Each structure stands twice: as structure tokens, then as C-alpha cells.
Amino acid sequence: MILLIPLLIFFWFPIGELLSHVSWAQVEEVILSSSFTKALLQTFWSGGLGALLSVVVATYFAHFFAQAEWRGQRLQRLLLLIPYLIPNFVLASAYVLSWNPATGVLGAHLPLPFALYSLSGLSFVFGVAHVPVAFLLVEDRIKKMDPALFEAARLSGASSFQTLRKIELPLLMPSLVSGFALCFALNISAFAIPAWIGAPERVFTLTYKIYQTLQMGGVEGMTKAPVIALVLFLISLPSFVINGWIQRREQKFVTVGAKPSAKGGSSLLSRRSFVIFQICFWSSQLVFWMLPFAAQILSTLVPPGCLQLEGLACLSEVTLRSYRYVLFELSETQVAIVTSLIYGGVAALTIVLISLTALNVGSTKVQRLRFLDWIFAIPLATPGAVLALAMIVTYSGKYGINLYNTAAIAVVAYILKHTSLCFQPLKNGYLNISPTLFEAGRVFGATKSQVWTQIKLPILRSEIVGGFFLVLIPILGELTMSIFLTSPGFRTIGTVIFDLQDYADHASAGALSVLLMLMILFLNELARWISRGRVGY
């Protein structure tokens, strides 16, 4: 228990320190302005509609993925999850390239039924970006349900649609609600998508307001931004609470499943519905990301502006110039790849250690684990820029620790922000292991630490490897915090992409983004390979 306090201080103190500079007058000023109210409403609507889209699409697909088996399923599943593996700013810029109102390269042949730069457009891209998150949650839930439940319904005379409506959906309701809550929380805290899709037509969200406040707000901006961040946090609070409540309730349902991995329902899926599913799958994936990404990749291979002006006629001018430039001529890239991997690796490793320590402290006490969830979730819910400034204010020696202008401050910020991502799956894995396995270790002569090294760690191995990669991936593309916390010799792939964009070299920035994408896909495969398929997507 005593170790909870240092963890609490480590994870919460910087944010608290920054908030301590806020005055009540500023809170009033922020909250009473009309642009704030507008941004709040737009955040709410776009986040909610986006989450709804994610959950509906994800549920339909999960219904098939969890219950049927077919050739090429693993590949299709990976394709479905790709938007999750790609940094959001790449997805957003691909949409701008494809569907901007004037020169969208897909707009002429495949128009969206709404304007891209609008509240609907913003909600749509949010939805696309987080389908994978909802999918993973719902699929897991369906897999844990006993197929006999559906078989019983069919034998009682229900059609497959009736079974879906009267048995499957009601049973799924808890995870649908928690999937919605999770997507909503991710949507309202996202920055890249609102910046690319919302800002051009002034559909501002709270995260964008925070960015504007920090950009040109001067000293006041620095203390006003955390106020907006706090509001943002408060509106995401209900979704956290609902999620926790649902999960607790769901514990009771878990016993429903007898054989978690059995795919007994496949015989009950009709051929016709399967074909319809395949058509929906491929057409939606084409529109959601395949075509936009293809356009994005193509645009890095031709001269700037060419694709928009001349369309596919550009293909005669294909050149790898941008790739050559970022890989071999821009000296920063190679350094950035190496340092990203090193600092990202150190941060990810420390996160794994902290998560394991926290698990040890929390052990199997549900109350403590829930408290730990909170400790880690709050920095995750704090916008990166605000967290970065909090780090500067706290760690420049004011409290005896001076990490400023060293790589350590960025590494610590990465740790604060991402621990939750590693702790969640690790905790779930841990709770799924019967405690008797650990008790048996003690009874048969192992000390506490021997139980850790010889039983807990080996059993949790794939969750540990998975957690490591799960945090390494976002850290590699991390941008917002890295820019503020840069120090001599500190270059990450994210900051190089940002610099290139800042310098209006969009072709090179695009090329480097594509390389980052390939690197992430490679890491994913590596994680799968190391964990023998138990980790990764």
C-alpha cells in the first residue's frame, strides 16, 4: 500500500503543479466565452457520433469474426485493425488529400455524402479511426460467450436475425456501452483529426482550443490551457465511470461462457449473410482507409500537387526522390530512428517495470487495482501539450529534480502518458490467471521473489512483450510532447516529421510517415512472432 503514494505523486504531481497556477478568474473567463461553449458542444457531438459509428461497424464485423472461421481471416482481421496501428495524423492527412472539397483525388469518382470539413466529416473520421478499438472489445466479448446460447435460440425457432436482436445484442450490451465510452473518450481527446478535418471550416474542438490557447496565449495561455484540459477531463469522466461500472457488472456474466474459444456458431451463419458481410467488409475498408492510404502513398511518389492536378497521369513521373531524401540525405532521419527506438525502448521497458510493480502492489485486491487504473488513466487523458508544460514546470529543479534539457524529461513524460496502455492488458492477463498457480509456488518451496521470476513472469511473458510493443508504437510517433521536451541530441521520428511539415516539405513528411507506418507494421509482426501469436494484431 505504501508504494501507491510514490506512484500517485509521480503520476499526478506535475498536472497538479500546473493547475496550482490557475486562478478562479481565468476559469470563469474560459468557461463563459461563447467560443468555448461552441467548442464544447462540437466536441460532444463529434465524439458521440464518431463513437456510435465505430461501435455499430465494429459490432457487425465482430459478429462474424468471432463466430466463423474462413481462409484469410487473420489477414482480414489485420486489415480491419490497421487504422489503429497508424498514427492519426497520417489518417487525417490522407482524408484531406482524398476528399478535400476542391481537389480531393477521390471526390470526383467516389464522393462522400457529406462535406469533409464539417461536423459530420469530423465524426466520420473519428468513427473510422476507432473502429478497431471497439472491434477488439466486442470481439473478445462474443468469443467469451457460449455458442450454445445462440444454438438454443435457433433451436427454439428464432431466425438468425432474431437471434442477433434478442439474444446476442442484449448479452453484448455491456461491452457495447463500454466500447462506446472508450471511443468517446479517445475521440474527445484526439488532436490530429480535429486539426486536419475540423479546423479548416472552424469546427473547433476542445483539444484544438487547448492548442490555440497554448500557441498564442502567452503566459495566460499556459495557465488557461489546463483549465480547458480539466473540462475535457470532466466530460470524459462519465464514460470512465460507466465503463468501470459495466465491467464490474459484467463479471457476473462471464460465467455464461463455458468454452471460451469454441467457434460453434459458424454453422448457424447462412451463406447469404456471409457473402453480404464480405461485400460490406471490403467496400467499407476500401472507403475507410485503403483508397485514402493508397492516394497518400502515391502522393509521396510523385511531384507535389501533381496528383491533384493531373490525377493518375502523374504515374509517368513516379520517383523515389522523397524517400531517398528522408532516408539518405536528411542526416536527422537515421539518428531519429535510432534515438526513437532507444528512448522509446527505455520508456517502454520502464513502463513494463512500473506496471509489474503496480501489479505486485495491487496484487489481487480489486479496490487497489481500480485505484491504480485511475492513477495511470489521468495522465493518459491529459492532452500531450499540457502534460509537457507540466513536466517543464515540475522538473526544472523547482522541487530538487532537474531533468530539463535532458532526454530524461521526455522519457519521463512518455512514461506518464502511456503507462495505462500497458497496465490494462497486463492486469487483465494477471487477473485471468488462477491465484492457485502462485500459491502452489509458495507451498512447493519458492519464496515470493522466486514465485515472480519462475512463475508469474514466464506465465505473463506474452502480455509483457505485448505491453512493451503496445506502448512503444505510440511513443515512436509521439509528437506533441516531444516538441516541447526536446533537448540536445534528442530527435524522434515524430519530431522530424513535424519539422518537415513545419518547413512545408509535405512530400518528405509524407514519405517519412509511410516509413513509420511500415516500421510499426513490422514491429507488430515481430511482436506476434516473439509471442507466438498471442500478442499483436
Partner 1 sequence: MKMKIGAVAVVLTIVSLGRSEASAKSSLWVYTSIYKEFIRPIEIAFEEENPTVDVQVYQAGSEKLQAKFEAELLAKRPMADVIMSSDPFWTYGLSQRDLIIPLKSGKKYETNYYSMMVMIVHKSVETSKRPKGFSDLTKGEFSGQIQMGSPLESGTTFSTVAYLSRKYGWDYFKALSKNRIGSSGGNSAVIQKVESGEKKIGIVLLENALASIKRGSPIEVIYPEDGSIPIPSMQVVTKTSGQRDVAEKFASFVMTPKVQEMLRKGYMYSVRKEVPPPEGARALTEITKNTTPWTDQNIEEVWKEGQKIKQNFSEIVLE
Partner 2 sequence: MSYLSIQRLSKTFDDTPVLKGLHLEVAKGEFVSLLGASGSGKTTILRCLAGLERPDFESGPIVLNGVELSHKRVFMPPEKRNLGLVFQNYAIWPHLNLFENVAFPLRVKKVGDSRKIEQRVNDVLELVQLQELTQRYGYQLSGGQQQRVALARALVMSPDLLLLDEPLSNLDAILREELGIQIRKLTKKLGLTTILVTHDQSEALSLSDRLVLLNYGEIETQGRPEELYRNPPTEFSARFLSKAQEIFDLKRKRQLFLPRNWSILEGGEGIAVTIASRIFLGSEYQYLAENSQYKSPILFYSPRRIEQDEVVHLQYRE
Q: From the list partner 1, partner 2, none, which binds 454 (C-beta under 5 to 8 Å, kind-based)?
A: partner 2
Q: Which residues does residue 402 pair with via DSSP β-bridges, in sequence order?
A: 396
User: Which of 54-62, 356-364, 425-433, 528-536 is the region at the interface with partner 1 (rule: CB under 8 A)?
Assistant: 356-364
Out of 113, 157, 400, 445, the residue judged to bind partner 2 by CB under 8 A: 445
Of residues 518, 43, 525, 54, the one with CA closest to residue 288: 54
Long-range contacts of 213-216 (CB under 8 A, 24+ apart): 214/385, 214/386, 214/389
Residue 473 grid coordinates: 508504437
Q: From the list partner 1, partner 2, none, which binds 439 (C-beta under 5 to 8 Å, kind-based)?
A: partner 2
305 binds partner 1 (CB under 8 A): yes
483 binds partner 1 (CB under 8 A): yes
Residues 365-404, interacting with partner 1 (CB under 8 A): 389, 392-394, 396-398, 402-404
Compute how many other C-beta atoms are within 10 angstroms of the C-beta atom of residue 326: 27
- State the minimum distance, in angstroms, from the CB of residue 259 to partner 2: 13
Q: From the list partner 2, partner 1, none, which binds 445 (C-beta under 5 to 8 Å, kind-based)?
A: partner 2
Return the DSSP state at 170: H
Out of 26, 120, 405, 531, the residue judged to bind partner 1 by CB under 8 A: 405
Distances (CA, A) of 242 to 176, 177, 246, 384, 458: 12, 8, 6, 24, 34
Residues 245-304, interacting with partner 1 (CB under 8 A): 303-304
Under DSSP, is residue 114 helix (H, G, I), strand (E, B) or coil?
Answer: coil
Nearer to partner 1, 59 or 93 (CB): 93
Surface-to-core class of residue 182, CB atoms within 10 Å of its CB (0-12 exposed, 13-18 middle, 19+ buried): buried
Out of 115, 262, 276, 309, the residue judged to bind partner 1 by CB under 8 A: 309
Q: Is-contact 485 435, C-beta < 8 A?
A: no
Q: Where on the phi/psi map is residue 422: left (φ > 0), alpha (ψ -120 to 50), or beta?
A: alpha
458 binds partner 1 (CB under 8 A): no
122 vs 129: CA distance, rounded Å:
11
Q: From the list partner 1, partner 2, none, which binds 441 (C-beta under 5 to 8 Å, kind-based)?
A: partner 2
Nearer to partner 1, 509 or 517 (CB): 509
Alpha helices in 318-456 (DSSP H): 321-324, 331-362, 366-381, 384-394, 407-432, 436-443, 448-451
Binding residues for partner 2, rule CB under 8 A, total 18
Nearer to partner 1, 74 or 202 (CB): 202
201 vs 210: CA distance, rounded Å:
18
Nearer to partner 2, 397 or 458 (CB): 458
The contact mask relative to partner 2 for 451-470 (x = CB under 8 A, - = no) is ---xx--xx-x---------
Out of 450, 503, 518, 526, the residue judged to bind partner 2 by CB under 8 A: 450
Q: From the list partner 2, partner 1, none, which binds 182 (C-beta under 5 to 8 Å, kind-based)?
A: none
The contact mask relative to partner 2 for 405-444 (x = CB under 8 A, - = no) is -----------------------------x-xx-xxxxxx
- State the minimum distance, in angstroms, from the CB of residue 302 to partner 2: 52
Of residues 241, 210, 170, 191, the one with CA closest to residue 87: 191
Q: Which residues does residue 396 pair with via DSSP β-bridges, in sequence order?
A: 402
Of residues 155, 151, 153, the one with CA closest to residue 165: 153
Residues 28-87, interacting with partner 1 (CB under 8 A): 34-35, 38
Surface-to-core class of residue 161, CB atoms within 10 Å of its CB (0-12 exposed, 13-18 middle, 19+ buried): exposed
Out of 353, 437, 440, 518, the residue judged to bind partner 1 by CB under 8 A: 353
148 binds partner 1 (CB under 8 A): no
Out of 199, 446, 519, 521, the residue judged to bind partner 2 by CB under 8 A: 446
- State the minimum distance, in angstroms, from the CB of residue 140 to partner 2: 20
User: Which of 126-134, 136-144, 226-234, 447-455 is the region at the interface with partner 1 (rule: CB under 8 A)?
Assistant: 447-455
344 vs 279: CA distance, rounded Å:
40
Place of cell 495557465: 223
Q: From the list partner 1, partner 2, none, which binds 437 (C-beta under 5 to 8 Å, kind-based)?
A: partner 2
- State the minimum distance, in angstroms, from the CB of residue 144 to partner 1: 30
Return the DSSP state at 403: -
Residues interacting with partner 2, by CB under 8 A? Answer: 434, 436-437, 439-447, 450, 454-455, 458-459, 461
